[in-house]
Structure 1
Amino acid sequence: MMILEMKAVIKPSQFSAIDEAIRTVQFIDHR
Structure 2
Amino acid sequence: MFFSFMVNSLDQYPMFFVLFSLFPLSIFSLI
TM, length-normalised to structure 1? 0.51
Extract structure 1 runs of 4+ deviating beyond 4 A.
Answer: none
Query: Structure 2: 5+ residue runs without aligned partners?
Result: 1-8
TM-superposed deviation, 1:25:
0.4
Query: Greater helix percent: which structure?
Result: 2
The structure number with the bigger radius of gyration is: 2
Query: Residue type of the partner of 1:17?
Result: M
Higher relative contact order (CA 8 A, sep 6+): 1
Query: Structure 1: 5+ residue runs without aligned partners?
Result: 1-10
Identity %: 5
**RMSD (Å) for aligned C-alpha atoms:** 0.8
